[in-house]
Each structure stands twice: as C-alpha cells, then as structure tokens.
Amino acid sequence: GENVEQHPSTLSVQEGDSAVIKCTYSDSASNYFPWYKQELGKRPQLIIDIRSNVGEKKDQRIAVTLNKTAKHFSLHITETQPEDSAVYFCAASKDHASGGSYIPTFGRGTSLIVHP
C-alpha cells in the first residue's frame, strides 16, 4: 500500500519568514495530493490540493509543488503569520482510473509554530 513520509515533525519560524513542509510517497499511481491544516481541538481543513497533471499550484500565501519523478510534494507558506500556527497534514491518494478510490494515506503531521 501507499506510504507517506512527512518532514519535519516540528517547524518553528519567525513571523514573516517562509515555511516549507515536505512529503514523499511510495505509490507512483497516486495522483491526488491534498494538504490539511488542523488547529488544536478542531477539524482538519483542506487548504490546498494538487493533482498529478500539474507541477505547482498557488493560492495567495500558500503553494504546493509536486515532483512526480521523485515522488515528493511540498507545501510552501510565505509571509507566515501567528495564525498559521497549526498542525499540517499531507496526504496521497489515487482515483478510480488508477485503481484506487481516493482513500487517502496521511503523513504524520507537522506542527508549525510561528513566533510573533
């Protein structure tokens, strides 16, 4: 089955700095990669996703890049703010055409701390 590794487990940055979280996956057939943000005691929220037919996607201060050959994808947050502090999870899954049904495999999470 799919195996998703996520690094680092903890990331501490100063407000205004950039933060990068990296994930690798093992199943080359995976083609959908969402990122979730989970604040303490709250639900995970989808913040951005990317499909394997594109290499990069951006939404304001967040961006995700995908390298299919190397089987890794990364979350980039620029101009970090204290409210970005949360746990971020990456995930990988594949659609029906690829033999899956979008059942995600999650990374272990990265605790991002943004210091004011």
Partner 1 sequence: GAVVSQHPSWVICKSGTSVKIECRSLDFQATTMFWYRQFPKQSLMLMATSNEGSKATYEQGVEKDKFLINHASLTLSTLTVTSAHPEDSSFYICSARGLGRGEQYFGPGTRLTVT
Residues that bind partner 1 (CB under 8 A): 32, 34, 36, 41-46, 49, 51, 89, 93, 95-96, 101-104, 106-109, 111
Evaluate whether 88 touches 114 at the Cβ level (below 8 Å).
Answer: no
Q: Minimum distance between the CB of residue 72 and partner 1, rounded to whole angstroms?
A: 18
Q: Minimum distance between the CB of residue 9 and partner 1, rounded to whole angstroms?
A: 10
Residue with the two structure tokens 């659609």: 95
Residue with the two structure tokens 């594109």: 54
In the chain, the N- to C-terminal Cα span, in Å, equals: 41
Q: Which one, 63 or 106, has the nearer CB to partner 1? A: 106
Q: Minimum distance between the CB of residue 8 and partner 1, rounded to whole angstroms?
A: 14
Q: 55 Cβ partners below 8 Å, 6+ apart?
A: 65, 66, 67
Q: Which one, 2 or 71, has the nearer CB to partner 1? A: 2
Q: Which one, 31 or 80, has the nearer CB to partner 1? A: 31
3 state SS of 97 = helix
Q: Minimum distance between the CB of residue 79 and partner 1, rounded to whole angstroms?
A: 25
CA separation for the pair 33, 52 (Å, rounded): 8
Q: Which one, 68 or 78, has the nearer CB to partner 1? A: 68
